[in-house]
Amino acid sequence: MCGRYNLIHDPAVWRLTRPIKVGKTAPFKPRYNIAPGQPVPVYRESGDGLELLDMTWGYVPHFVTDDHPKAHPINARAESAFEKPFFRDSMHKRRCLIPTTGYYEWQAQDGHKQPFHIHLPRQHPFLMAGIWDYRGGDESQPTVAILTTQAPMDLAAIHDRMPVIIPNELIYNWFEHPDNRLLMPVSSGVFEADPISTRINNARNEGPDVLK
């Protein structure tokens, strides 16, 4: 799964294959400990380009109208999301991209869990695949989940799942003609994994010190 991530580069100025229109987003500041339930910047399709807006991380589909829904998953398994009724409609109609510069996973080691920061070389930004919907059909409450797939061999020892990564050059394919090849794991050796401080365990801890 992917339960925490960071974003240290402003997604409003990323160089993508489609133009970006900035919608309702908070003023950007680097975030090193993004946690479920928080507002997160998301790209969704908007005409000939992409719209950037904040969504709550924790997916609640439009047909769930409870004030306190029991299920608000932060992840959806790519292998089954096209078939599961909870995710199916959004997989077909409301795909999105979540910009990030790294995510975190925990590995069991000698009775404790060691956190790792998983990222591209030089912390180059990348795009995680996601799905979104309006909670209870309320357009003021967009929600999002990150799609996950099997981790490659070099990361599987830390955790057997990882986010689905959509390369910049395949953004069009993801929004217009998605197929299962886009949901496959990345190859070994693409990502780096660094052990970091357990400060990341507390969602209130923010700033670059969590990466030490």
Q: Render pLDDT for 135-153 as a digit per residue (tens, 0 to 9).
A: 888 888 999 999 999 999 9
Task: Measure the CA–CA gap between 162 and 84, rounded to whole angstroms.
Answer: 20
Q: List helix spans (H) across 62-170.
A: 85-93, 153-156
Q: At 78, give phi and psi (nearest 5°).
A: -60, -30
Contacts of 101 (CB under 8 A, 6+ apart): 6, 7, 8, 9, 119, 123, 124, 125, 126
Taking the C-alpha atoms of residue 29 and residue 165, their distance in angstroms, rounded to an integer, is 23
Type and span of the H or E element at 39 = strand 39-46
Run of H or E including 174: helix 171-176
Please report where in the chains the tokens 């005409």 appear, as a residue. 47
Domain count, the chain: 1
Range of the domain at 119: 5-211
β-bridge mates for residue 148, sequence order: 77, 163
Say which range, 97-101, 133-137, 199-203, has the weakest mean pLDDT: 133-137
User: Over 80: is that where the pLDDT of 82 sits?
Assistant: yes
Number of neighbours of residue 50 by Cβ within 10 angstroms: 25
**Which domain CATH number covers 173?**
3.90.1680.10
Residue of 196, 120, 197, 123 whose CA lies nearest to 162: 120
Contact indicator for 76, 2 with CB cutoff of 8 Å: no
Looking at per-residue pLDDT, the higher value among 13 and 108 belongs to 13
Residue 194: which pLDDT band, with cuts at 50, 70 and 90? very high
In whole angstroms, what is the distance from residue 101 CA to residue 14 CA?
A: 12
Give the separation between CA 18 and CA 21, rounded to whole angstroms.
10
Q: Rounded to an integer, what distance in angstroms lies between the CA atom of residue 74 and that of residue 60?
A: 10
Give the phi and the psi of residue 128 in degrees, each rounded to 5: -95, 140
What pLDDT is attached to residue 68? 79
**How much is the pLDDT for 1?**
65
Coil, strand or helix at 120: coil
